[in-house]
Amino acid sequence: MSHTEGRIGVPVFLETGQVFDELTHRRAEEIVGRYPVARSALLPLLHLVQSVEGCVSQPGIDFCAEQLDLTAAEVSAVATFYTMYKRRPCGEHLVSVCTNTLCAALGGDAIYSTLSAHLGVGHEETTGEPAEAGAPGTITLEHAECLAACDLAPVLQVDYEYFDEQTPDSALDLVLALQAGGSPTPTRGPALRNFRTAELEIAGIFPDADERVAGPSLAEPTVRGVRDAERTGQHAPPGDDVPIPPLPEK
């Protein structure tokens, strides 16, 4: 039985012996302080844990429960619901290949197969030995159900930054560059860092925000309809002209 499997319906998390340091505790306090109800901070706290460990471990579950006065079962229920929370440590980079309908039809499956064959890993598996997870050049590969960029299909993400209109060859070149220690430029968004830094930023902590240089935030195909509407004088009706139907009485 693997370290992420247990009895049916009973989640099992990696036992790492992790003790979270003073900086992580301070960051957790900062995150919790943003919310009027402490338990609302659970999602970013889980990302904070991943920024330290590269996954959500049993100590990470216990840490979040302690910070928010929740039970470990309550935290586990959330951590096992969302696929962004990993139960095995990710590599230096997480490569997410969209294999949902449109991307798959346009080459997403071929991209995933090419990368899987090159890396020698499958879904949510990491190159190298488990103890080396997070080491320079290590890659975790995963299927992604939808990356919300159908107009730019097929797409993949590296540490949640977009690389649009990919092919098997371009995706392989991208991964080879990552393995060699490179930092390819995403199609949109800021420059690449690594999975753990991305998780820290998703948690809402930006230790080097002044150094972050944003790239373009949109692609022309995404706004082509808006541009055409502006050019031809089309517009949506104003909202105040639309009557709001009454709500049925309970």
Residue 249 pLDDT: 79
Whether 1-88 shares its CATH topology with 93-194 is answered no
Residues 93-194, CATH architecture:
3-Layer(aba) Sandwich (3.40)
Domain edges within the chain = 1-88, 93-194
Q: Is 90 annotated as a binding residue?
A: no
In angstroms, the CA 158 to CA 97 distance is 9
Encode pLDDT of 165-224 as tens digits: 999 999 999 999 999 999 999 998 888 999 999 999 999 999 876 666 666 777 888 888
Q: How far apart are CA 203 and CA 51, in angstroms?
A: 9
Nearest to 64 by CA among 28, 37, 92: 28
Structure tokens at 130: 């488990």
Which among 62, 70, 59, 73 has a CA at the least distance from the CA of 14? 59
Dihedral over Cα of 147, 151, 153, 156: its sign:
negative
130-173 per-position pLDDT tens digit: 767 789 999 999 999 999 999 999 999 999 999 999 999 999 99
User: Is 55 annotated as contributing to ligand binding?
Assistant: no
Q: Is the dihedral of CA 192, 197, 201, 207 positive or negative?
A: negative
Percent of the chain with pLDDT over 70: 88
Closest CA to 121 of 147, 132, 12: 132
Question: pTM of this prediction?
Answer: 0.84
Residue 96 forms beta bridges with which residues? 142, 157
The answer on whether 64 is annotated among ligand-binding residues is: no
CATH class of the 1-88 domain in this structure: mainly alpha
Give residue-wise pLDDT tens across range 27-49: 999 999 999 999 999 999 999 99
CB neighbour burial string for 112-140, b if at least 16 within 10 angstroms, e if fewer? bebbbebbebeebebbbeeeebbeeebbb
- Amino acid letter, residue 68: L
| Residue 29: Cβ within 10 Å count | 11
Cβ atoms of residues 138 and 88 within 8 Å: no
Q: Does 103 count as an annotated binding residue?
A: yes
Query: Sheet harboring 156-158: ordered strands across?
Result: 125-126, 139-144, 93-98, 156-158, 161-163
